[in-house]
């Protein structure tokens, strides 16, 4: 079996050595520069295959601790709520927070002050509303100032137990909230732990796997203090709890026994620490100190813990990527990191002894604008409209036009050492899910044409269900925006076991796809926050077209064709700018479809994928039934559905399938079909003689036409959703990253 290279150097991000302008924009969706990751990436978003990645829960965790910086309760609440808003795309069916209760004026907080817990079903705004309602009902003082305070927060996408306050986090050790935990991941041995805790008299309120954790912490704490002398430290309690946990998790603990202290730890699920330090002489929060290490004690500071960088960037760019088996203890203005030597003992049962480790901070190369909606109302809208820029970044430094011969070529640093092997492959097998699968389908014809190698398409779950044959001389290409999709990761593990060369195409540096494949290409589309994938889709197609150009680079007979494609790639952002001008027209079209039950999309050749992807967008956000249909299959069933009421989009832009699509249109018209035809600019009359609705799009080279053609359909899905009154960015029942099987 080929050795997996857990090294980002083997994974193409940007060929910046060919374009000095690329440096500033080289952060990708993870937001952390690859340079920084040379030191810290190794366990980022790490999901080890022996830790059941297929059951990882999709949630967001966040914490805010202010030390020696005076903050009012209202401010603390808002920081926690904003953190959750940034993480909401990770899960949005329930949320919760914990903050300190009011103490007697001037008194030191004591174990008799149980923290307050607020939990609510629904989105973050439902939580915010319920917290302020409770605050006013209980006269909680929002102006009370805390020079030190530790708050924790959670946004959930349910897997264990329905969305309900009792199943929301923080989960508690019991009525007095001795220990509180927010959790992203899953505890696979929770049933066993629950049974033993039940035997020790603990009662359970939720159906979550998480609830065993705070209860176990209380059990450990009570046992250690049976003599009445409280000497066990918070980190000792958590370390002991970790010894008993199996599964994947990122956890943050808060306890009334350890006021103003937080403990975080992780195995498998992502976790970052953000640090904002203030100069000692100015503790009023105005002077931000730029240090590369976290000062030990005493300095005023604000510390943040988060599942991903989106919730940190508005506060600080100094981050520490917490690695697997590390325990972070935030106390008295200092941060101590303890690390187990190995995740597990050799017998696989428990963890070895932890040792303190020194870590340098990394710089987050992410701007707030990247993760804010800017002038747009929704992320999906913003991400559709920023495609000219995201595509430019995807191609930057990778298309070479130069030399006296004006030769045009493609350089993909992460693939160049593997091109020979790929060219010798018996097959290329694309593997992905949802939009990523569709992007691969759109790129398949150009791979076949330029590489002359059979290209197979596999939906990751189906490949696994069939245990389909994968061979040592196959090149498998894993396509995933997040790089964390469970089905895709399981298929990757399967392909590795079968000895295939594994190539990754992902938007996320440090993701499992990036780390566990032999080589690959980052699509560099920037953070995609809307659950519906839009700009990642177009960047994926462009990357795969570049992969085809790189593999086919030494074939003389296709030189002209390749150069034409490169020229068209260079002009693509301008064409996308043109097609985005259809926004208003698509809104009009959406208005005419608002009450429909169903929408069909017919495509073929390069644009079969466009039909599938357009339909996926409509069904996933507009919650309208929509099917992408291969036009060649029309007469084998779908034609029966055609009547004067059912709207049908037919993609008939100019390529080798054009005349066949013209014939499809004629047949649909003969059955009084209600047609919306997408055609090349100037073709409207020729294509449907003025008797159907037309979407005219600019023409580009055939293999890139799907990149242009999908944009009006993305806009259509977006407007349909808004007009139908549904949530654009967080569609019902869906989460951005599908890390469960």
Write out the catalytic residue numbers.
59
For ligand AGP, the binding residue among 180, 238, 380, 433 (CB under 6 A) is: 433
- Rounded Cα distance between 495 and 431, Å, is 10
Residues in the interface with ligand AGP (CB under 6 A) total: 15
Tell me whether residue 169 is exposed, middle or buried, using C-beta atoms within 10 angstroms of its C-beta: 0 to 12, 13 to 18, 19 or more. Answer: buried
Paired with 551 in beta bridges are: none
Q: How far is the CB of 234 from ligand AGP (least distance, A)?
A: 36
State the greatest distance between any 2 C-alpha atoms of the chain, in Å, as a whole number.
90
Q: How far is CA 170 from the centre of its chain?
A: 23
Note the Cα 612 to chain centre separation in Å.
22
* Residue number, 337 or 536, with CB nearest to ligand AGP: 536
CB of 371 to ligand AGP, least distance (A): 17
Contact 632, 604 (CB under 8 A): yes
Judged by CB under 6 A, does residue 482 bind ligand AGP? yes
Taking the least distance from each CB to ligand AGP, the nearer of 532 and 580 is 532
Q: Is 26 in the site for ligand AGP (CB under 6 A)?
A: no
Which of 480, 516, 524, 558 binds ligand AGP (CB under 6 A)? It is 480
Residue 319, SS3 per DSSP: strand
- Please identify, using beta-carbon distances, which residue of 434 and 712 lies nearer to ligand AGP: 434
CB atoms within 10 A of CB 160: 16
Cβ neighbours for 530, distance < 8 A, ≥ 6 positions apart: 89, 378, 379, 380, 382, 383, 728, 729
Cβ 620 to ligand AGP, closest distance in Å?
Answer: 6
- As measured in angstroms, the least distance from the Cβ of 561 to ligand AGP is 29
Closest approach, Cβ 130 to ligand AGP, in A, equals: 29
- Cβ-based nearer residue to ligand AGP, 507 or 568: 507
Establish if 381 lies at the interface with ligand AGP (CB under 6 A). Answer: no
**Two structure tokens written together for 658:** 């054009």
**435, 475, 527, 661: which one contacts ligand AGP (CB under 6 A)?**
435
Strands 674-680 and 647-652: parallel
Q: Which two tokens stand for residue 655?
A: 């390529």
Q: Which of 370, 488, 709, 714 binds ligand AGP (CB under 6 A)?
A: 488
What is the smallest separation between the CB atom of 437 and ligand AGP, expressed in angstroms? 8
**Per the structure block, which two tokens stand in for 374?**
């800017």
Residue 71 phi/psi, 5° resolution?
-135, 135
Alpha-carbon radius of gyration of the chain:
27
Question: Are the beta carbons of 246 and 349 closer than 8 angstroms?
Answer: no
Q: Which is nearer to ligand AGP, 98 or 482 (CB)?
A: 482
Q: Please, which residue, 168 or 512, has the CB nearer to ligand AGP?
A: 512
**Residue number with CB closer to ligand AGP (533 or 568):** 533
Pairing of strands 519-522, 501-506: parallel
- Comparing CB distances to ligand AGP, the nearer of 248 and 735 is 735
Note whether 739 binds ligand AGP by CB under 6 A. Answer: no
Nearest distance from C-beta of residue 339 to ligand AGP, angstroms: 29
Cα distance between residue 678 and residue 675, in whole Å: 10
Q: Hey, which residues between 620 and 659 contact ligand AGP (CB under 6 A)?
A: 620
Does position 738 bind ligand AGP by CB under 6 A?
yes
Q: Which member of 434, 504, 552, 647 binds ligand AGP (CB under 6 A)?
A: 434
Q: How far apart are CA 540 and CA 443, in angstroms?
A: 9
- How many CB atoms within 10 Å of residue 593? 21
Closest distance to ligand AGP from the beta carbon of 405 (Å): 38
HSE-up of residue 57 (Cα within 13 Å, Cβ side): 30
Per-residue binding letters, 515-544, with ligand AGP (x by CB under 6 A): ----------------xxx-----------
End-to-end CA distance of the chain: 26
Looking at beta carbons, which residue is closest to ligand AGP?
Answer: 434
Give the number of other Cβ atoms within 10 Å of residue 104's Cβ. 10
Helix (H) or strand (E) holding 502: strand 501-506
In the numeric block, the tokens 């100094």 are attached to: 318
Q: CB-wise, 439 or 501, nearer to ligand AGP?
A: 439
Beta carbon nearer to ligand AGP, 255 or 709: 709
CB of 540 to ligand AGP, least distance (A): 8
44-52, 276-284, 474-482, 669-677 -> range binding ligand AGP (CB under 6 A): 474-482
Exposed e or buried b per residue across 476-492, where buried means at least 16 C-beta atoms within 10 angstroms of its C-beta = bbbbbbbbbbbbbbbbb
Q: Shortest distance, CB of residue 483 to ligand AGP, whole angstroms?
A: 7
Residue ranges in 289-348 that form contacts with ligand AGP under rule CB under 6 A: none
Judged by CB under 6 A, the stretch of 241-249, 271-279, 478-486, 672-680 that binds ligand AGP is: 478-486
Q: Which of 26, 393, 485, 699 binds ligand AGP (CB under 6 A)?
A: 485
Q: Which residues pair with 262 in a beta bridge?
A: 254, 330
- The one segment of 192-200, 241-249, 356-364, 432-440 that binds ligand AGP by CB under 6 A: 432-440
CA torsion, ordered 451, 456, 460, 462, to nearest 10 deg: 180
Residues that bind ligand AGP (CB under 6 A): 433-436, 480-482, 485, 488, 531-533, 620, 737-738
């Amino acid at each position: 079996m080929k050795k997996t290279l857990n090294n980002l150097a083997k994974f193409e991000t940007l060929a910046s050595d060919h374009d000095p302008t690329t440096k500033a924009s080289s952060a990708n969706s993870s937001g952390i520069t690859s340079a920084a990751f040379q030191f810290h990436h190794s366990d980022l978003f790490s999901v080890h295959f022996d830790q059941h990645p297929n059951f990882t829960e999709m949630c967001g965790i966040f914490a805010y601790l202010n030390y020696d910086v005076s903050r009012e309760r209202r401010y603390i609440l808002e920081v926690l709520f904003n953190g959750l808003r940034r993480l909401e795309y990770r899960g949005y069916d329930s949320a919760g927070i914990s903050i300190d209760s009011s103490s007697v004026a001037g008194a030191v907080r004591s174990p008799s002050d149980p923290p307050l817990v607020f939990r609510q079903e629904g989105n973050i705004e439902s939580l915010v509303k319920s917290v302020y309602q409770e605050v006013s009902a209980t006269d909680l003082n929002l102006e009370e100032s805390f020079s030190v305070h530790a708050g924790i927060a959670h946004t959930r996408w349910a897997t264990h137990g329905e969305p309900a306050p009792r199943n929301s986090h923080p989960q508690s050790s019991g009525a007095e909230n001795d220990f509180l935990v927010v959790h992203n991941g899953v505890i696979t041995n929770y049933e066993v732990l629950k049974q033993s805790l039940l035997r020790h008299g603990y009662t359970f309120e939720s159906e979550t796997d998480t609830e065993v954790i705070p209860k176990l912490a209380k059990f450990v704490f009570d046992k250690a203090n049976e003599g009445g002398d409280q000497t066990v430290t918070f980190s000792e309690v958590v370390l002991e709890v970790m010894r008993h946990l199996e599964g994947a998790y990122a956890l943050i603990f808060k306890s009334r026994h350890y006021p103003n202290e937080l403990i975080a730890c992780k195995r498998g699920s992502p976790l970052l620490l953000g640090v904002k330090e203030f100069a000692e002489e100015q503790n009023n929060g105005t002077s931000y100190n730029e240090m590369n290490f976290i000062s030990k004690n005493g300095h005023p500071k604000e510390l943040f813990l988060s599942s991903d960088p989106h919730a940190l960037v508005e506060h600080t760019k100094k981050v520490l990527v917490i690695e697997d088996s590390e325990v972070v203890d935030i106390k008295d203005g200092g941060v101590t990191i303890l690390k187990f030597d190995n995740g597990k003992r050799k017998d696989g049962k428990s963890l070895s002894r932890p040792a303190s480790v020194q870590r340098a901070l990394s710089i987050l190369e992410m701007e707030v604008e990247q993760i804010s909606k800017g002038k747009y109302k929704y992320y999906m809208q913003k991400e559709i409209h920023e495609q000219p820029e995201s595509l430019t970044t995807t191609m930057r430094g990778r298309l070479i036009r130069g030399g006296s011969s004006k030769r045009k070529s493609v350089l993909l640093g992460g693939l160049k050492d593997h091109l020979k092997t790929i060219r010798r492959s018996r097959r290329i097998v694309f593997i992905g899910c949802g939009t990523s699968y569709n992007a691969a389908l759109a790129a398949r014809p150009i791979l076949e044409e330029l590489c002359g190698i059979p290209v197979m398409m596999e939906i990751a779950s189906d490949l696994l269900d069939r245990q389909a044959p994968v061979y040592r001389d196959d090149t498998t290409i894993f396509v995933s925006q997040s790089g964390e999709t469970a089905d895709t990761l399981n298929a990757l593990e399967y392909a590795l076991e079968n000895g295939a060369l594994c190539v990754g195409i992902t938007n996320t540096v440090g993701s499992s796809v990036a780390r566990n494949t032999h080589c690959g290409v980052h699509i560099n589309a920037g953070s995609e926050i809307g659950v519906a994938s839009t700009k990642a889709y177009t960047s994926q197609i462009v990357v795969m077209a570049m992969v085809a150009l790189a593999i086919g680079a030494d074939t003389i007979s296709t030189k002209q064709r390749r150069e034409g494609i490169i020229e068209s790639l260079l002009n693509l952002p301008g064409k996308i700018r043109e097609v985005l001008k259809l926004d208003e027209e698509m809104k009009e079209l959406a208005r005419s479809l608002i009450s429909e039950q169903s929408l069909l999309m017919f495509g073929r050749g390069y644009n079969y994928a466009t039909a599938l992807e357009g339909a996926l967008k409509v069904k996933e956000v507009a919650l309208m039934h929509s099917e992408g249909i291969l036009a060649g299959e029309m007469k084998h069933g779908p034609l029966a559905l055609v009547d004067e009421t059912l709207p049908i989009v037919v993609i008939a832009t100019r390529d080798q399938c054009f005349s066949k699509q013209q014939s499809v249109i004629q047949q649909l018209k003969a059955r009084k079909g209600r047609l919306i035809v997408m055609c090349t600019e100037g073709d409207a009359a020729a294509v449907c003689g003025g008797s159907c609705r037309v979407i005219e799009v600019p023409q580009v080279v055939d293999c890139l036409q799907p990149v242009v053609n999908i944009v009006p359909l993305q806009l259509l899905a977006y407007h349909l959703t808004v007009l139908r009154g549904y949530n654009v960015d967080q569609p019902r029942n869906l989460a951005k990253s599908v890390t469960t099987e």
